[in-house]
């Protein structure tokens, strides 16, 4: 897991922080549903999506900047493998961010289902 986070780079920190807040708040909502929390979850989900997309785009930018600027990589017969490795590492923010967002959404959905009718 540590290697996974390291491959994603610095953007993984806000993605992880927002995701853990979302999962914790979602678990609390599941346990004690409150109709007034809907706005909080909507904005938290929006922040998580934005952080995840920023992480994804910045990781892709790093690959597209560093591979051509390194002559050893740029002229290597294994250029395709270098790029594929970089692109694989670029998926880490999306994998973490959207996975945590999905868990939060599931918890909120079940909590929403538990709300009293007509409340």
Please report, rounded to a whole number, the percentage of residues in the chain having pLDDT higher than 70. Answer: 98
- Does residue 60 form part of some domain? yes
- Does residue 57 form part of some domain? yes
Total tally of structural domains belonging to the chain:
1
Distance CA(111)–CA(18), nearest Å, equals 19
Residue 69 predicted with pLDDT over 90: yes
- Does residue 54 form part of some domain? yes
- Does residue 1 form part of some domain? no
Which whole-number Å values give the CA distances from 73 to 49, 85, 115, in the listed order? 32, 12, 56
Q: pLDDT grade, residue 38 (50/70/90)?
A: confident
- Does residue 38 form part of some domain? yes
Domain span including residue 109: 10-113
- Does residue 118 form part of some domain? no
């Amino acid at each position: 897991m540590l290697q996974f986070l390291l491959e994603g780079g610095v953007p993984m920190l806000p993605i992880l922080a927002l995701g853990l807040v979302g999962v914790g708040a979602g678990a609390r909502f599941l346990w004690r549903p409150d109709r007034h929390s809907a706005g909080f979850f909507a904005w938290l989900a929006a922040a998580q999506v934005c952080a995840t997309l920023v992480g994804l785009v910045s990781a892709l930018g790093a690959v597209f900047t560093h591979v051509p600027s390194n002559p050893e990589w740029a002229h290597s017969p294994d250029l395709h493998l270098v790029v594929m490795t970089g692109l694989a590492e670029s998926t880490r923010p999306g994998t973490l961010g959207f996975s945590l967002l999905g868990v939060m959404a599931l918890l909120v959905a079940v909590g929403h289902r538990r709300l009293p009718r007509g409340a």
